[in-house]
Each structure stands twice: as structure tokens, then as C-alpha cells.
Structure 1
Amino acid sequence: MLTSVYFKNNSFDLNSESKQELDSLSQLKSNLTFRIFGNANPLGSEVLNKKLSDQRAKTVSDYLQKRIGKNIKLSGSVGLGISKQINDNSTEILQAKNRRVDIFIEKNFAVGEKISRKPHPSFFDLKIEMMKVKDTFSLPDVNFIGGRHVWLPKAKPRLYQLLKILRENPVLEVELQGHICCDYENFDGEDQDLGTFNLSFTRADAIKAFLVKMGIDPKRIKAEGQGYLNPVVYPEVSEEDRTKNRRVELVLIKK
């Protein structure tokens, strides 16, 4: 689980909304570990942004330290400067998303303990009339090479199946949600092909690009990245576990 709080430009002061979010985290009752990472957008110098991200992380850490119970451990805080940009900073809205502190929340697992979440219903197995808008569906076999937005060979026939459904149902609108595995030091993973830290998004966007290339109106498809949130298996202890989490799911927006 991850929560982020956001800051004004060149500031490390918490606003009321951020304080409310942190207060909620401090009341969690499970045995948890919080890891805190500060970030900045690239408007200032590298030195200034590193210092600012450190200050933001420390502000959040100090605020939580005064409020958490003994069941929650703070494993430290660190500022990452501008090294973990999750978008291209082309607008003020996107810049604001990089002026943030990420709080990674992890359950403390016993040795050998593992969570396996039941997958969502398959988008390929249900009739459109039986689906509900805003429901989430799995895309079985649509998995990816580690660290890349390149899908595995077994995904290809499934993507053509998805293409066929969209062609036969021209009013359908969908959101593709990308996921990653294994990178718990960042909100999202590094795309080794692009050098960006938005791997979950580039996976969803790669499928969107394929569908658009094949003639689907891009207005019908939205691509979003979910980072490492909502894993199917956690923690990953085998390549099979990791592959399951390197996936894209589908949310029905309109039918």
C-alpha cells in the first residue's frame, strides 16, 4: 500500500489535507513498517531539489513519529531529489505530482507467509451485457518481461482477442491499468527501455498504442499506471509470482 502527500512549489510545509491523511495512517492497527521517500520537480538546481526532498521527507517522518503507536515502525526517511520523476513535468498539474512524499506501508510478514489475491473475472469470459461499468477485469496471459513494457509471447493472441471485442462493440470505453512487481523503493518501476520510473503506465500505454495502431479510436482507451499497488501475489518469492504481478487489468468505463 502506498500513500502520497503533496507540497507547494519550493515548500516543505504540510497543508491541512496532508495532515489529515497522515493522521489516518497513524491510526492503523496492524503491525506495519512505513518507509518515507521525498521527491521534487526539476524547476530548481539539483542541489536545491535534493535538499528540498530531504526536508519534505523529514517533515512527514517527524509528523508521524509523534502520532504512531508501537505497532508501526518508521524505517527512516530519505530525499530522492528529482531522480524518481513519474511524468514529464510538461504542465503544472504534472509538476505538482512530483512535489510529493511517498509513504510505503508494508505489513510485517512471518517467515513463509504470502498473500495470494483472487484475480478479477476475465474480460474474455463474460458477455458485455453481463458486465457492470466501473468493474475491474483481468486480462489473462497479458504479462510482461521484467523491467520492460514488452509483453510475453503468450499475450499476443489475448491482445487480438481484446481488439476483436472492441471492434465488435464500438461504444465500449475502457481504462487499462498497468502493474509491476518487486520494486518497493519507488511508487513505480524503472522502464529499462525508456529510463523513466513509470513502468506500470508504459505497460498499459503499450497496449493502448497497439489497439490504436489497429484502428481503435484512442478516445475509447485510457492508460493508467498503478505502480506496485494491489499485487496478485505478495511478497514475490518465485519467477511465477513476479510474472503474475507484471500485468495489465481493464476497467470498463462505458458500454
Structure 2
Amino acid sequence: MRCFIVLAILFCTQTIGAQQQKLSVYFRFNSASLDSSERKKIDSILYLNKTGMNTVDIFGYCDAIGNNTYNDSLAWERVNAVLQYFGTTTIAKGQVGKAEAYGKRKPANSNLTEEERLRNRRVDIFITNDPQASTATAQTPAVPQQPSLEKRVSDSSLKAGDNLVLKNLNFIGGRHMLVRESIPAAYELLEVMKKFSTLEIEIQGHICCAFGISDGLDIDTQTNNLSENRARSIYEFLVRNGIAASRLSYRGFGSSKPMYYPERTIAQMDANRRVEIKIIRK
């Protein structure tokens, strides 16, 4: 069976130059779940490259149905599905290079037929091989443990009207798309909303680096409501994953409520570029 899959994958991958291969995995409409056939494709290309693999770059896309905010979020979920599947394999975390989502931007075709739309509902995986690359991985410094969101929400002192900063939920500068490292934090919020079935929240978006104006320019939509779009992207992510819209609302505050002012470091800019939740009902 393994031989058959390995032979099949040779026809599914594309060599980019001498050192790089490309694999595309496809998704059903409005879904970020990897079908078994697509998981097998990933298994096979990893098997073929089990020695000498240097980096893996991942790029997510959607078809043209829906708005940019929705599709950007869905494309990130597709990227995350591949990243999570990599986590069940022998691929090292340090081997993942770029992980980006383009939503319905950069379509592979005109999106006129269902077959064309299917080809746009995909994640492209680029594997770069370097037989001389060291297999040693860098040691990650220990990070102090923060209380989980679940523990913070379950704290009896938390009441309606209180705000919680969502730790590690940060965005790419000028865009309403989460940085790759923040995707697990979005899923943590989703699990908390599922567990605390009476919890109602307002999702509040904030930006950095733009004091004195009402809101920032969203590069993706070319509208001056960046903080609102950031909050809405989390709102749509939760609704798409089964949380009732009646339990959620969202609002953008621009740069009117900075955690740091003036911003003197990159870390302070990242902290101001954030999402908080306000407890409406617990």
C-alpha cells in the first residue's frame, strides 16, 4: 500500500527548481478539515523527503465566494489544519518556514466553474530539500507559564463588564489576519466558548502605531476600520465553528485604548495590536 501511495504522489507533486517540491491539498466548500485522501498525500511527500528536508512553507487559499474577511479567516484555518497535521508526523517545528493565508486573493483561475473553485480551495505546501542541512534543532528558551483562558474565565472574581486581554492573539501589521503563532489562541477561545455555554462576550479590536486618528487602514480591504475588521475576523471564526451569533458582538476601538503609550519597542507595538473580550454575561 505504501508503494502505491508513494508512486501516486510522484504524479501529484511539482518540482520547483532543483531543490524544491510543491504539493497542493484541497478542501471541501466552507471547510478547513483535511479529508483522508489529502492526509495521505501529505504522508507520502513527507515519506519521500524523510531525509534532507530543510524547510516547509505553507500558503492557504479560498474560492471567490464570500467576503475578504471571511475568506482570510478560513484560509488561515486551512493553513492551521495542515500545521496541526504536521504535528502528528515526524516533522520538526523548526522546519516550518513561512505560513501565510491569502483568502480569495491570488486565485489560480477564474473561479467560473465548480472545478475551478475547488482548485482554489487549497493549501500549497513547498518543501525545500538540503541534504547537507543539519538535523540539529535550536533549543527554545523556556517561556513562563500564563494562566489558561479557561482558568481566567472560570475565576469567580470575573464578572460582567470586565475585560480580558487574549494572550498571544496578535495580528500582522496593517492587516486583519492573525500571525501564525496566534492561531492556537483563537482555538483556545473557541473551546472556552463551547465549554461555558452561557458566556456572552463583546470582541474588541485595537491597533497600534496610529495615534490621533479614528482607526487604521486595512491593507486587505482598503478601508479605514482595521480594528473593527480584526474583531470581526474573530467573531466570524467563532460563528463558523458553531458558536451562536447571539452570544457574540464585536467592536473596533482604533488606537484609543493603548496598553502602551508612547510605543517605544516592537513588543509594545505588538501588545497594542490586540483583541480583548468584554464579558457581557457569564
CA distance in 1, matches of 2:184, 2:204: 19
The match for 1:170 is 197
Which residue, out of 180, 198, 203, partners 2:230?
203
Q: CA deviation at 1:129?
A: 5.3
What TM-score, normalized to structure 1?
0.50
1:218 aligns with 2:255: no
Where do 4+ consecutive residues of structure 1 move more than 2 Å? Answer: 121-125
1:176-187 correspondence runs (5 A):
176-187=203-214
CA distance in 2, matches of 1:136, 1:210: 20
- Checking the alignment, whether the CA contact within 8 Å between 1:122 and 1:139 is kept in structure 2 is no
- Checking the alignment, whether the CA contact within 8 Å between 2:149 and 2:192 is kept in structure 1 is no
1:160 aligns with 2:187: yes
Per-residue CA deviation, residues 16-43 of structure 1 (Å, 9 max, x unaligned), is xxxxxxxxxxxxxxxxxxxxxxxxxxxx
SS at the partner of 1:236?
coil
CA distance in 2, matches of 1:185, 1:127: 33
CA distance in 1, matches of 2:168, 2:237: 16
Cα RMSD of the aligned pairs, angstroms, is: 1.6
The match for 2:61 is none
SS at the partner of 1:137?
strand
1:249 aligns with 2:280: no
Q: How many residues align?
A: 135
What TM-score, normalized to structure 2?
0.46
Aligned AA (1:136):
N
- Checking the alignment, whether the CA contact within 8 Å between 1:124 and 1:139 is kept in structure 2 is no
- Checking the alignment, whether the CA contact within 8 Å between 2:169 and 2:185 is kept in structure 1 is yes
Aligned AA (1:246):
R
The match for 1:236 is 263
- Checking the alignment, whether the CA contact within 8 Å between 1:132 and 1:252 is kept in structure 2 is yes
- Checking the alignment, whether the CA contact within 8 Å between 1:179 and 1:225 is kept in structure 2 is yes
- Checking the alignment, whether the CA contact within 8 Å between 2:218 and 2:224 is kept in structure 1 is yes
- Provide the identity percentage: 41
Gaps of 5+ in 1: 1-120
Q: CA deviation at 1:125?
A: 3.6
Q: CA deviation at 1:170?
A: 1.4
SS at the partner of 1:145?
coil
CA distance in 2, matches of 1:206, 1:246: 14
CA distance in 1, matches of 2:280, 2:148: 16
1:126 aligns with 2:157: no
